[in-house]
Amino acid sequence: MKRALVSVSDKTGLVDFVRGLQSLDWEIIATGGTQKLLEESGIRTIGISEVTGFPEICDGRVKTLHPKVHGGLLARRDNPDHLKALKDNGIGFIDLVCVNLYPFRQTIEKEGVTMEDAIEHIDIGGPSMLRSAAKNWNDVTVVCNPEDYGRVLDEIREHGNTLRQTRLELSAKAYTHTAEYDICIAGYMRAQAGLNEKLFLEYDLAQGLRYGENPHQDAKFYRSSKPVPYSLAWAQQLGGKELSYNNIQDANAALSIVREFSEPFAVGLKHMNPCGSGVGKDILEAWKRAYEGDKTSIFGGIVAFNREVTLEVAELLKPIFLEIVMAPSFAPDALELLKTKKNLRLLVIDMSSDIPSDTKSFAYVNGGLLLQNQDLTTCALSAGQCVTEAKPTEEQMKDLEFTWKIVKHVKSNAIVVGKGGMTYGVGAGQMNRVGSAEIALKQAAATLAEETGKDPETAAREAGLVLASDAFFPFDDCVTLAAKYGVRAIVQPGGSIRDEDSIKKCNELGISMLFTGERHFKH
């Protein structure tokens, strides 16, 4: 008669699984709470102490760490010496182990958990049995996930035992289960001890991707072990094709911008840079401003909102070729309309809470990994940050605040030009700052010329634009260029050894300038 050893914390589906084994003439060995549940369900079991001849001791800390357990698991059935050792010591085979582990992760995530509580939820016997059974997978079936119960029972019914390939797969799953468990424990204990020279990462496969940035690159998408806000990995897709590698990168960049704003906000994005963004009294006004900021670049882009997409907004989105629309929700009639575009990806994103302040970002380099805290803080602007004779108006302060939040998310060197709650020009990723400024200002002038019917520079000068820079001005050339296009207020971090040159130029030209003391490089 074959024997199964059962000892689980997660008892989902257990009774039916064990009843199925018993109906196939398997003998059931069980421990503690598992045995109690099975006996109460009318399933005959053998207690672990009956097998070992030794009582459970130390409050249950020691019960399965015994040769009659591990000998029965580890002995090779094709090795005469192993068989003789079992016979000489009165040890019987154990043919199947069904084990999952004490809920350590759930324990340490509880508010107010003590280290003593955490340690008591470190499983010792469970991982040992899993590893023993998994090592001897050729002879022993090891099950640690209730999702595999049905497959195991079906194969035993049909073949008298699980298939060899199944046992190999289940062995790999068991080692994965114990590895994840040990990583969680090691991470917790190292944090308690103040050790940081090791980094453990744990992500699960969310989906395979057709390819990476280019068709010749293989790619996969992994997600964190638990949901987080503003996350593509945990988004609900309501329509459209599967996301691509580049879609995910771009959409993540858009969500990083969205989380900056509490008022109704919309952003269009291409190649991880915003091409138009706007705030408004409602989401419709925000979208109109975002779209007017750059009607050309949004073609084939991604759009993100921090409010529900209404039918009025959907009607404006429908004629535009877009890859993705993201929002915390879609009104039913808006969803119905947008779903008529069969390839348009519609994603519902959790925006109900903020990203934890200690969230890390990672960047792989050849032979290494860079880690840093995510750039989640954006300092509020105030009149006290003004370093020039000219002072910004109340309206200009609002525009500076808006552009300052946007420029943080533009590839360095970054310049953003805006007014009236919308971006008019974005200069990204240039090798010198004045080059980025020139791109942003020319784009702003062109957009304003289209609005007013005037020549670009005149339209820009009359608009009274503001300008934001992600890092300091090394020279006064950006100020000179900004004045040419009628910029009336500037916000930048400051910190250059030539800050006084820029301040002096602003004073000459009647431009107000704020120093934030906070840089936002984005490489």
Q: Per residue in 428-487, pLDDT tens?
A: 999 999 999 999 999 999 999 999 999 998 999 999 999 999 999 999 999 999 999 999
Q: On the CB side of 411, how many CA atoms lie within 13 Å of its CA?
A: 14
Candidates 180, 171, 185; CA nearest to 135 is: 171
On whether both 47 and 177 belong to a single domain, the answer is yes
On whether both 179 and 294 belong to a single domain, the answer is no
Burial, 234: exposed, middle or buried (Cβ in 10 Å; 0-12, 13-18, 19+)? middle
How many other C-beta atoms lie within 10 A of the C-beta of residue 4?
A: 22
On whether both 262 and 183 belong to a single domain, the answer is no
Any domain includes 353:
no
Answer whether residue 57 shows pLDDT above 80: no
Whether omega before 413 lies within 30 degrees of 0, making that bond cis, reads yes
Query: Residue 196 — pLDDT band, cuts 50, 70, 90?
Result: confident
Query: Residue 316 — pLDDT band, cuts 50, 70, 90?
Result: very high
On whether both 343 and 416 belong to a single domain, the answer is no
- Number of structural domains in the chain: 3
DSSP 269-310: EETTEEEEEEE-SSHHHHHHHHHHH-TTTTTTEEEEESSPBP
On whether both 165 and 271 belong to a single domain, the answer is no
Any domain includes 362:
no
Answer whether residue 55 shows pLDDT above 80: no
Candidates 481, 511, 518; CA nearest to 391 is: 511
d(CA 181, CA 59): 22
On whether both 337 and 482 belong to a single domain, the answer is no
Burial, 332: exposed, middle or buried (Cβ in 10 Å; 0-12, 13-18, 19+)? exposed
- Condensed to tens digits (0 to 9), the pLDDT of residues 62-91 reads 777 788 889 999 999 889 999 899 899 999
Mean pLDDT value across the chain: 93
On whether both 122 and 253 belong to a single domain, the answer is no
- Cβ neighbours of residue 474 closer than 8 Å, sequence gap 6 or more: 433, 496, 498
d(CA 1, CA 395): 84
How many other C-beta atoms lie within 10 A of the C-beta of residue 370?
A: 9
On whether both 342 and 448 belong to a single domain, the answer is no
Query: Residue 51 — pLDDT band, cuts 50, 70, 90?
Result: confident
d(CA 179, CA 325): 38
Query: Residue 109 — pLDDT band, cuts 50, 70, 90?
Result: confident
d(CA 190, CA 390): 53
Answer whether residue 121 shows pLDDT above 90: no
pLDDT at 143: 96
- Among 134, 166, 193, the domain-final residue is 193
d(CA 393, CA 489): 9
- Say which CATH number the domain at 29 has: 3.40.50.1380
Candidates 446, 463, 464; CA nearest to 455 is: 446
d(CA 452, CA 292): 13
- Angle between the 456-463 and 433-452 helix axes, to the nearest 10 degrees? 90
pLDDT at 416: 96
Residues of the domain holding 433? 380-515
- Say which CATH number the domain at 434 has: 3.40.140.20
pLDDT at 468: 97
pLDDT at 201: 86
- Among 137, 164, 193, the domain-final residue is 193
- Among 324, 348, 372, the domain-final residue is 348
Answer whether residue 56 shows pLDDT above 80: no
Q: Is 377 helix (H, G, I), strand (E, B) or coil?
A: coil
Any domain includes 206:
no
Tokens 């409050």 belong to which residue? 59
Query: Residue 239 — pLDDT band, cuts 50, 70, 90?
Result: confident
| C-beta separation of 437 from 444 below 8 A | no
Q: How confident is the model over 50-73, as a mean pLDDT?
A: 81
Any domain includes 472:
yes
Q: How confident is the model over 100-123, as a mean pLDDT?
A: 86
Answer whether residue 232 shows pLDDT above 80: yes
On whether both 43 and 140 belong to a single domain, the answer is yes
pLDDT at 358: 84
The token pair at 15 is: 């009774």
pLDDT at 111: 86
pLDDT at 447: 93
Q: Where are the beta strands (DSSP E) in 315-403?
A: 322-327, 345-348, 360-365, 368-373
d(CA 324, CA 213): 17
On whether both 31 and 150 belong to a single domain, the answer is yes
Any domain includes 398:
yes
Q: How confident is the model over 320-348, as a mean pLDDT?
A: 96
pLDDT at 64: 76
Q: What's the angle, vertex CA 301, arms to CA 300 and CA 305, rounded to 5?
A: 140
Active site members: 135, 271
pLDDT at 297: 92
On whether both 281 and 336 belong to a single domain, the answer is yes
pLDDT at 523: 85
Any domain includes 390:
yes
Q: On the CB side of 422, how many CA atoms lie within 13 Å of its CA?
A: 23
How many other C-beta atoms lie within 10 A of the C-beta of residue 137?
A: 20
Strand pairing of 512-515 and 489-492?
Answer: parallel
d(CA 385, CA 138): 71
- Condensed to tens digits (0 to 9), the pLDDT of residues 354-410 reads 888 888 899 999 999 999 999 998 999 999 999 999 999 999 999 999 999 999 999
On whether both 100 and 170 belong to a single domain, the answer is yes
Any domain includes 211:
no
Any domain includes 364:
no
